[in-house]
Amino acid sequence: MSTAFEKIWETDNPPSTQWPLYTRGNVGEVFPEVVLPFTWDLIGKAAEDGWRQGFVRMGLVADGDFSDAEDMIILSVFGGYCYINASYVRLLGVRAPGGKVENIDTMFFGESDAPAYEARDGDKNFKASLMLGKTLLRLLSTKELPAMEQDKVKVDRFVDRYPGDDASNDELMAYCQSFPPFFEHLFFRHIDNTFSHALVAGAMTDLVVKADKVDLLVSILGGIGDIESAAPAVAMWKLSRLDAGSAEYEAAFAQFLADFGTRGPNEWDIGSDPWGFRPGMATAAIDAMRRADESHAPGTQATRLAAVRDDALVEVRGELNRIDRFQFDKAYGATVLFSQARERSKTTVIKAIHSVRRAQNVMHLRAAADGGVDARWKSCLLNVDEFTRYLEDPGSFTDLIEERAELHGRLSNLIPPFIVDATVPDVDTWDARASSARALTSGDTMQGIAGCSGVARGRARVVLDPGEPGDLGPGDVLIAPITDPSWTPLFLAAEAVVVDVGATMSHAVIVSRELGIPCVVSAVGATRSIPDGAEIEVNGDTGVVTVL
């Protein structure tokens, strides 16, 4: 293992010396693949600055937390893969009144071999704790979030300012380069919602613990409604009930692309193709749903989840005294509000990113016609300055692009370490994605984190690409490496979902609770150790997966 930082990929930066612990947890859903240089050069620093703004607004940041010598601390890229700074995020569990580091780990990072937190001078900060306490009181009294609608209007205006496919390259590049300050604002809002949810959910959890009803935590958050990231799956379900190829289906599918064409795999990366660019990915998910009966319908599941949720809420409230019930009701209401807001702010950001993607695509097509690379993602292997010069002389960048494409392929075939502690392990020590772990056999169990309540049995179907679900259908359990919105529609085709990574704040958990699919996340190595076709049982209440 090397002790000195070695830049492996174009976007890499050295780990922070002050805050040295990093994790792929949570951010692996945002950037599941190797980050393309065009994207990171355009928005990477803006994301870091927006995140810091969010923490300042919450009151978490104390004097001396961030060194001017380190531009990237909260977000970093090692070997092409994006990481979150666990050292700093853990401070929320240290500085927030009543907070616990263990809860932050579970909420954001899931099961991992991360070293235990060790207190350091300066971690505790009275002023920060006081500010976080005031923030919590403000959040608990929040009933609506008008800023969310304001941001939607701002994004619509940004999209309307798109110069058009006939605009010059200079105009299109100027549009792209105008994006970072706006992205910083949008990402600030997303972080503010995400960690506001963490604070109020922590307060709610403490009261559930006080009621001695921890086993109901999953149930009380099921089917809360208005989760925007679940909307594409609901729309796809309706499409799956129509005859493929019919005029009704074609019209409905066209509307689906108009509404959700910005979504898809790895959707935060400008170089990744969404459903609007590759409709076949959406039709593959719709076809998988066709095999499912009405018991899988989102409406049916929503009714079931609402009944379970209401019973669980009555049970929890019944164990609390009058004052605690009052506090619980406020904390629960705020948890629902900010859970919805987190997914809504994500949808808003993605819409803006896609408008930049459109501009990059037009410029790419022109360069390709002038001797440049055919694959759009390859043109995003260049940073912004390189891409600008590439437009003038595409052929002169062919060797550089192919060199990076080869390295991209090599890194993409490796599993990045889930935890980085001060030193990035040599790439030669990373496991290959094709490597297999010890296969589980009859009677073996895996312990993950409970995502959505319910117990289901079925055949394990290991799916590594949401665009290629194979014969996934009724009676199957989806085993996935990670989930982003492109995976969500496949939930409705399966009996349950098991994910290699994730935590209680992960996309898989939030959406599975909305769709009513038993879910276990942070089942480390599930895609490599659960044999495809094995009969398994998934317990979404305990987080246990059993090979039958």
One digit per residue, pLDDT tens: the chain, 548 residues? 445 788 999 999 999 999 999 999 888 888 999 999 999 999 999 999 999 999 999 999 999 999 999 999 999 999 999 999 999 999 999 999 989 998 888 877 776 678 999 999 999 999 999 999 999 999 999 999 999 999 999 999 999 999 999 999 999 999 999 999 999 999 999 999 999 999 999 999 999 999 999 989 888 988 888 888 889 999 999 999 999 999 999 999 999 999 999 999 999 999 999 999 999 999 999 999 998 888 888 888 888 888 999 999 999 999 999 999 999 999 999 999 999 999 999 999 999 999 999 999 999 999 999 999 999 999 999 999 999 999 999 999 999 999 999 999 999 999 999 999 999 999 999 999 877 667 899 999 999 988 888 899 999 999 988 888 888 888 999 999 888 778 888 888 899 999 988 777 777 888 888 888 899 998 988 999 999 999 999 999 899 999 99
Q: How far apart are CA 372 and CA 366, in angstroms?
A: 8
Nearest to 82 by CA among 38, 7, 48, 32: 32
In terms of Cβ atoms closer than 10 Å to its own Cβ (0-12, 13-18, 19+), residue 293 is: exposed
| Chain position carrying tokens 């406020």 | 330
DSSP 412: H
**Which two structure tokens, joined as six digits, stand for 274?**
């969404």
DSSP string, 220-279: GGTT-S--GGGHHHHHHHHHHTSPTTSHHHHHHHHHHHHHHTT--TTTTSTTS--TTT-H
In the 3-class helix/strand/coil scheme, how is 20-84 assigned residue by residue?
CEEECCCHHHHCCCCCCHHHHHHHHHHHHHHHHHHHHHHCCCCCCCCCCCCCCCCEEEECCEEEE
Instruction: List phi, psi (to 5°) of 414.
Output: -115, 155
How many residues make up the chain in this entry? 548
- Is residue 481 classed as helix, strand or coil in its secondary structure? coil
| Residue 452: strand pairing partners | 519
C-beta neighbour count of 315 within 10 angstroms: 15
Q: How far apart are CA 400 and CA 502, in angstroms?
A: 35
Nearest to 507 by CA among 477, 536, 480: 480
pTM above 0.85, yes or no: yes
Of the CA atoms within 13 Å of residue 117, those in its CB half-sphere come to 20
**Which two structure tokens, joined as six digits, stand for 253?**
């599918």
Nearest to 517 by CA among 246, 365, 197, 297: 297
Q: How far apart are CA 52 and CA 237, in angstroms?
A: 39
Give the CA-trace dihedral at 403, 350, 507, 49, to 10 degrees: 80
| Chain position carrying tokens 């509307």 | 255
* Cβ 287 vs Cβ 490: under 8 Å: no
Q: How far apart are CA 132 and CA 152, in angstroms?
A: 28
Task: Return left, alpha or beta for 223; rule: phi > 0 is left, psi -120 to 50 is alpha, else beta.
Answer: left
- Is residue 93 classed as helix, strand or coil in its secondary structure? helix
DSSP string, 163-232: --TTS-HHHHHHHHHTHHHHHHHHHHHHHHHHHHHHHHHHHHHHHHHHTT-GGGTTGGGTT-S--GGGHH
Q: How far apart are CA 262 and CA 279, in angstroms?
A: 11
What is the rounded radius of gyration, in angstroms, for the C-alpha atoms of the chain? 23
DSSP 459: E
